[in-house]
């Protein structure tokens, strides 16, 4: 889709993935250009929101993220939806789903990164250390799963290892690639795209009247659902194919420059 042909007047809200979209997880900061873009968007009448696989515990750990006056937040891949800081919808894994997922992972020695009231890995190996470095994760606790509540279940595995069939009999879940060595587990029907549209309806808007920025295949459904889907310059090839526009890298003022070119700020 050509930028000149986009119907900008239909956009009521702009949603952003967090890691490697608005936040640099390696250097642990949100670029100043992105903060400027967010402030100008809001002052120009657009609602702004985040749509992240991060549960609230690790979202709060991102420096400055919760200082931004977000109108909406899709947290833990859609398990929690917030409007103006208030929780308006929650849809978490069942205990049976969690037990089955962790049992299969343990049986096949697939490390799991999980977040709820605490953050831990079920195993530690070189691949997990690579994952920690790749996403700048400060947590190193290793412990077995013992029935804890869990908002994020992330499988860490070799890039050429097809492990998803192992989980095919777990009802009501859907694993989606979130990086080169990791898959996030979502509940079926609880994706970023569905939850943004629910929030848009809650606000009284056309459910598709939003713009979305993302960088991985876990963001692809929301890019497709958005009136304008934007893949970051650092996004993988498959995610770029799902987007209407590709902007610059998150480290190179990509968000600010695109919004300026569209005269949104």
* 3-state SS string for 173-205: EEEEEEECCEEEEEECCCCHHHHHHHHHHHCCC
Q: How would residue 148 be classed by pLDDT, with cut points 50, 70 and 90?
A: confident
pLDDT, one tens digit per residue, over 223-245 is: 999 999 999 999 999 999 999 99
Q: Look up residue 66 and give its two tokens.
A: 């919760």
- Return d(Cα 147, Cα 245) in angstroms, integer: 42
Could you tell me if 144 and 108 are in contact, meaning their C-beta atoms sit under 8 angstroms apart?
Answer: no
Among 74-78, 84-88, 122-126, where is mean pLDDT lowest? 74-78
Could you tell me if 247 and 20 are in contact, meaning their C-beta atoms sit under 8 angstroms apart?
Answer: no
- Return contacts of 222-231, CB within 8 angstroms, 24+ apart: 222/15, 222/51, 222/191, 222/192, 222/193, 222/196, 224/193, 225/193, 225/196, 225/197, 226/15, 226/196, 227/6, 227/7, 227/10, 227/11, 228/6, 228/11, 230/258
Best-predicted range by mean pLDDT among 85-94, 198-207, 215-224?
198-207
- Return d(Cα 231, Cα 221) in angstroms, integer: 12
Task: Output Rg (C-alpha) for the chain, integer angstroms.
Answer: 18
Q: Kindly provide the b/e burial profile for residues 82-103, where b requires at least 16 CB atoms within 10 angstroms of the residue's own CB.
A: bbeeeeebeebbeeebbebbbe
Q: Work out the percent of the chain whose per-residue pLDDT is above 90.
A: 70
Write down all domains in the chain, each with its CATH number in brackets: 3-91+190-261 (3.40.50.1000), 96-187 (3.30.1240.10)
Element holding 240 (H helix, E strand): helix 237-242
CA angle 115, 207, 43 (to 5 degrees): 80
Which pLDDT score, from 0 to 100, does residue 135 have? 81
């Amino acid at each position: 889709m050509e930028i000149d042909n986009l119907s900008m007047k239909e956009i009521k809200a702009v949603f952003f993935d967090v890691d490697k979209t608005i936040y640099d997880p390696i250097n642990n900061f949100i670029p100043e250009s992105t903060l400027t873009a967010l402030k100008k968007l809001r002052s120009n009448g657009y609602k702004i929101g985040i749509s992240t696989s991060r549960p609230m515990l690790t979202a709060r750990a991102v420096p400055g993220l919760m200082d931004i006056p977000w109108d909406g937040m899709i947290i833990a891949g859609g398990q929690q939806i917030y409007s103006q800081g208030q929780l308006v919808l929650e849809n978490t894994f069942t205990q049976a789903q969690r037990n089955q997922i962790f049992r299969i992972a343990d049986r096949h020695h697939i490390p799991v990164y999980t977040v709820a009231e605490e953050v831990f890995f079920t195993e530690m190996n070189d691949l997990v250390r690579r994952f920690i470095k790749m996403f700048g994760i400060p947590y190193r606790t290793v412990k077995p799963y013992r029935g804890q509540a869990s908002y994020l279940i992330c499988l860490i595995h070799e890039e050429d290892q097809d492990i998803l069939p192992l989980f095919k009999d777990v009802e009501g879940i859907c694993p989606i690639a979130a990086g080169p060595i990791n898959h996030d587990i979502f509940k079926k029907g609880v994706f970023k795209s569905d939850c943004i549209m629910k929030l848009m309806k809650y606000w009284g808007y056309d459910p598709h009247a939003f713009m979305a920025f993302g960088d991985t295949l876990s963001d692809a459904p929301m890019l497709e659902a958005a009136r304008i889907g934007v893949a970051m310059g650092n996004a993988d090839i498959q995610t770029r194919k799902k987007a209407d526009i590709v902007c610059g890298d998150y480290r190179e003022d990509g968000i600010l420059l695109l919004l300026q070119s569209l005269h949104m700020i």
